[in-house]
Structure 1
Amino acid sequence: MKSTAGKKQARRQFWLAVHLYLGLSLGLVISLVGLTGSLLVFYIDLDEWLNPQLIISEPGPQRQSYENIFQALRRAEPARQRGWRLEIPDDPRRAITARYYQPQETEHHGFAPLMLSVDPYTGSVLANRFWGEFAMTWLYDLHYKLLLDETGKILMAIVGGLLLMSLVSGIYLWWPPLHKLKSALSLKRHASRERLNYDLHKLAGVYSFIVLLLLALTGIALEIPQYVNPLFGYFSPLQASPAPKSAITQNNPARISLDQAVAVGQARFPQARLCWIETPHDTNGSYRINLRQAGEPSLRFPKTNVWVDQYSGQVLAISNPDELGGSDTVINWLHPLHTGEAFGLTGQLLVLFSGLVCPILFITGLIRWLQKRRGRRTTKRQSLSAKNQPLSPQMLNR
């Protein structure tokens, strides 16, 4: 029977092999995912930097009404008769971004809306673009689904699971005895290049472990919600998404304006900030007024919603995250945790730097493997050389 030390060594060799082959086979993909994720942390800012025409250089004294903005969209795209979704910026220098979902031109993609950027002060259209056809959205699709639509999401969920295994195996291999913890958490001074590379690999993994673990878990959940969300539902019931319908009557034959619908929604949550306005998709559709209450983790995609009848202005449904169960609350936290915005600028910077760690781990791990392989070859050559060396007369006479 194997001794305890022998079993421990065999177990360590197994996880060393797992860690090595996961790193060599997936390192490039994980590096790509990490780098694109880092860029996407500040997706809107980078998009504006790449497209300076989106920045309002001289904000006017007063914004156009939301109804005027909507009519400007209709004039710019008269063939788009279904609803639009308008993102209302808090920054006075930022344009209103309107999305038109499932346009005919990109209907073969799972998600590729038409996106119009509108000057909130003049109503003029600053940009007219399809999702995926400009840099930052192309990077998003590369990060989220490897540009492969639904198949890419499944692949990325698998990559996320293998990343989890790589992270856990790395921590297992690193875990030091308590009396060596201090040295295991620091760079060795005046070390050789080989030791410096090893320490960089080790410390990059250790110090980014918690964030990378969180990113991998939330990434898997966001890739395949159709499988993950029902699992949460076992712990507490999930709230069904409301689908209220407006009822046209002789007394209310005309649609109310976007501004009236917004006023109705904000009256229910007067302290909340307006984030999105979704207009009705058809004659039975309703307005969806999306607001952010203080304390919600997501800045851009909060979960406070008020559905308003497009004719009467009556409230048809409300979704208040303060009243949701535990499972829905966890699901609502997944995206802001993954982007870091749940913890403001600090969280975003943590995600950014953790994404940059991925290529560092791959490069230092690859160098470490090449160093060890080169060392084994040198040892093997020396051993063969010693075997082939002719025996001296002294050795023959023994």
Structure 2
Amino acid sequence: MISGMATSGSAATVAGSSGRIRWMLRFLHRTLGHTLGIVFVVIGLTGSMLAYWQAIDEALNPGVLLVAASPPEDRQYRPIDQIMSSAKAAMKPGGEARILIMPRHENAAALVLYEIQRSGGVIDLHEIGIDPYTATTVGQRAIQEDGRTLSMPFIQILMSLHSALLLNEGGEILVAVIATFMIISIIAGIYLWWPRNGNWRQAITIKRGASPARRIFDVHRVTGAWTSIVLIAMLFTGTYVIIRQVMPSLLSFVAGSEKPLDSYRSAASLGATISPGDAVKRAEEALPGGKLYSLSLPQNREGVYIVGRQSVEEPNRAATYRNVVVDQFSGAVLTIQDRDKFSAGETFNEWVYPLHCGEAFGNFGRGVVMLLGIVPALLYFTALARWLNKRRATSK
């Protein structure tokens, strides 16, 4: 008898403890959703559009980003020095070229980003489109003027909204913190959803013939269950990308503390610099294979050329991890970044952004990310509708 009472008491204690945990997690899940959920919606919807950001940008700005189709026999790029000379001639007074990005497809323009120093330390950013087949200027646009975020083109505004909520100071860190809290909320949601009675069929399906209120709850519950792991992965990779950009020292344990490419310095010299074309040739000799993707230009007498040579095997199509640093005076190769020789941590670093935006899996991956970006809105508004329904029912 005493043994039976003890067993019953133990069961009650376990049930009570489980009930308290569920109450706490339900409160946490609901509170985080109500307070931060709308930000999650904004991040998700902007991320959905940014899955195809390059195609959207080209559609909105064809006069800068696209060139007329050329016959196959004429599809030979003009020399890099000619392309850079055309860009320099088209720059506004005070402009200094910073980087050349080669065309991403045969009808795309080569892009030269340049800066103009304004008073008070403000830097204006402009972009020039150059026809790579003729080395003539296609057009140009302002990327940012007077430090104003809303002066940027539509896609750049979307990027700022997605990664920093349009905030110039601390916006990225705020987004990373919110993303971390949303991961916690999703984990709490998984615990609350997990079928304690083992009825998995009910847990992953929407009940037929149910009331509207029940269907809303089921849509929220089932959508969250099917997408939770991928949502956590998206939030984690996005947070990782932000921290890597804003506070790289915090993540040095993952890929080591490799010296940044732009921290190398050219040897002091009073002589003339080598041309951009010469730097590209030195890089090709040092790191064969792939194709020219980018060329960062020296910003002062100590600066260096950084030549990016992208390979088809790279998961990241918006950057490259095959780079050669070249002394602007002697043409000496100062260092080579070669993804084929990466450690496991460096390879992880390389894959994080392509996984976040979906481009690691081509158009299929981008399509998944585009659809996934809608999910936070669906979760938020079904949760809001359920909360309002319960409030109305309670007030009656």
Q: Give the TM-score taking structure 1 as reference length.
A: 0.86
Which residue is 2:3 aligned to?
none
Give, as a single letter, the amino acid of the residue that structure 2 aligns with 1:45.
A
Among candidates 371, 381, 384, match of residue 389 of structure 2:
371
Q: What is the correspondence of 1:180-329 to structure 2 with a 5 Å cutoff?
A: 180-225=199-244, 229-234=248-253, 237-242=256-261, 243-247=263-267, 253-329=271-347
Q: Distance in 1 between matches of 2:336 and 2:276?
A: 18
Matched, 1:8 2:18: yes
Shift of 1:311: 3.3
Q: 1:320 to 1:225 in 2, by over 3 A?
A: same
Contact 1:84/1:99 (<8 A) preserved: yes
CA contact (8 A) 2:358 2:365 kept: yes
* Residue 126 of structure 2: aligned partner: 114
Counterpart contact for 1:275–1:300, Cα < 8 Å:
no
Gaps of 5+ in 2: 1-8
CA distance in 2, matches of 1:106, 1:91: 39
Q: Any conservation in 1 of the 2:103–2:109 contact (CA below 8 Å)?
A: yes
Is 1:56 aligned with 2:70? no
TM-score by structure 2 length?
Answer: 0.86
Shift of 1:19: 0.9
Contact 2:95/2:114 (CA < 8 Å) preserved in 1? no
Counterpart-to-counterpart distance in 2, 1:191 and 1:355: 28
Letter in 2 for 1:171: I
* Structure-2 change in CA distance of 1:357 and 1:103 (3 Å): farther
Shift in alpha-carbon separation, 1:107–1:148, aligned structure 2, 3 A: farther
Q: CA deviation at 1:32?
A: 0.8
Deviation at 1:51, TM superposition (A): 1.9
Aligned to 1:196, the other structure's residue is in SS state helix
How far apart, in 1, do the equivalents of 2:116 and 2:241 lie? 21
3-state SS, counterpart of residue 224 of structure 1: helix
Which of residues 116, 130, 138 is equivalent to 2:143? 130
Provide the rounded CA distance (Å) in 2 between the counterparts of 1:374 and 1:237. Answer: 56
Could you report, residue by residue, the CA deviation over 1:299-357 in whole angstroms, capped at 9, with x for unpaired residues?
Answer: 11111110122333321211112323333332232222221112222222222111111
Mean alpha-carbon deviation: is it higher for 226-235 or for 183-192?
Answer: 226-235
In 2, the alpha carbon distance for the partners of 1:153 and 1:105 equals 26
Q: Does 1:344 align with 2:362?
A: yes
Alpha-carbon distance in 1 for matches of 2:119, 2:220: 46
Aligned residues: 374
**In 2, Cα distance between the equivalents of 1:294 and 1:306?**
17
Residues 103 and 113, structure 1, Cα contact 8 Å, conserved in 2:
no
For residue 227 of structure 1, report the CA deviation from its aligned partner: 7.2
The answer (yes or no) to whether the contact 2:254–2:345 under 8 Å persists in 1 is yes
Deviates more, 1:137-146 or 1:201-210: 201-210
Q: How far apart are the structure 2 equivalents of 1:42 and 1:175? A: 35
Gaps of 5+ in 1: 379-398
The equivalent residue for 1:141 is 160
SS in 1 for 2:166: coil
Query: Cα distance, 1:82 vs. partner?
Result: 4.0
Name the % identity. 31
Could you say if the C-alpha distance between residues 41 and 236 of structure 1 is closer, same or farther in structure 2, counting changes exceeding 3 Å? Answer: closer
Contact 2:116 2:125 in 1 (8 A): yes
160, 185, 196: which one aligns with 1:166? 185
- Relative distance call for 1:65 and 1:356 in structure 2 (3 A) is same
User: Is the Cα–Cα contact under 8 Å of residues 286 and 308 in structure 1 kept in the other structure?
Assistant: yes
Preserved contact between residue 239 and residue 328 of structure 1 (Cα < 8 Å)? no
Deviation by residue 1:274-317 (Cα, 9 ceiling, x = unmatched): 21111222233221111223432211111111012233332121
Report the aligned-residue RMSD: 2.5
Structure showing greater radius of gyration is: 1
Higher mean displacement: 62-71 or 93-102: 93-102
Q: Assess if the C-alpha contact under 8 Å between 1:211 and 1:351 holds in 2.
A: no
CA distance in 1, matches of 2:209, 2:14: 36
